[in-house]
Amino acid sequence: MTNEIDDFLMHYGVKGMKWGRRKERPEGETRFTPEQKAKFKKAAVIIGTAAVVGAVAVGTAYVAKNSGSKVPQNIDKESSEKLVKETLDSLLHATRAKNKGFSMYEKGGLKDPLIEYTEAFGYDTPERHVFKRYGDNNEKVAARFPDPLGRKDHAGRVIPHEVILPESLAKNVTNLDEAIAKVWPMIKDNVEAKYDPPENRLGGLPKSTPSQAKPKAPSPYPMTPLIPTPILDEILRKNY
């Protein structure tokens, strides 16, 4: 059975054509006319403008979501990511209490102080005494020192204090002794208050006395013996 086709299109290419090679054009001849080039250029400008506007919108939204602060207009995403990193504007202080583990007593005005803490102290095994400058221009100071009053945790270890001084407090601080002299008056009262409060002691707060205990309400579901009482009495009488 054969099907007759009246009209069909066949294309055998151009004589001498080779796949992957462009046909050479005479010198001065271009693929597109000047009018077509003008249209392409105009379209490229429109697309580029739209891309820039989109990047500004994404960057602004990114900062607003991650930092919770106002951001300037006309900012791209790359710049916005730099703004997300918060600025340390006050003292950061981390330590332990007698019966409580590592915690941040002062957060330095940061929503996530662990980022700054990790940059300053890293993940290395802590040394008892640390003094270092860090930051883009070494403008901040990180210091670690044992509790000046020798307070210990429940395991008998002397409690360390880790502090980070922002640029405003780190000026003219050149060694660990100067850092301790500067920050200890600022943190000692807070350390004293949190070192061993009643709620952190082992066992918690003192339990209430019997006179303070509330009487238990009767259960709405009284217990019923599995064996009726008369039968149970008869079993006990015969066997015991």
Query: pTM for the full model?
Result: 0.50
Q: What are phi and psi of 224, to 5 degrees?
A: -115, 130
DSSP string, 136-189: TTS-EEEEEEE-TT--B-TTSPBPEEEEEE-HHHHTT--SHHHHHHHHHHHHHH
Mean pLDDT of all residues belonging to the chain: 75
Top-confidence residue, 13 or 102: 102
Task: Using pLDDT thresholds of 50, 70 and 90, give the confidence band for residue 35.
Answer: confident
pLDDT single digits (tens) 124-163: 666 889 999 999 899 999 999 999 999 998 889 999 999 9
Contact 166, 134 (CB under 8 A): no
pLDDT single digits (tens) 46-86: 676 666 666 666 666 665 555 554 545 555 555 544 445 56
Q: How many CB atoms lie within 10 A of CB 107?
A: 18
pLDDT single digits (tens) 182-216: 999 999 999 999 888 876 665 555 555 555 556 66
The lowest-confidence range among 111-120, 143-152, 221-230 is 221-230
Q: Which two tokens stand for residue 28?
A: 């001065």
Task: Using pLDDT thresholds of 50, 70 and 90, give the confidence band for residue 101.
Answer: confident
CA dihedral sign of residues 34, 39, 40, 46:
positive
Q: DSSP letter at 73?
A: S
Mean pLDDT, range 11-32, rounded to an integer: 65
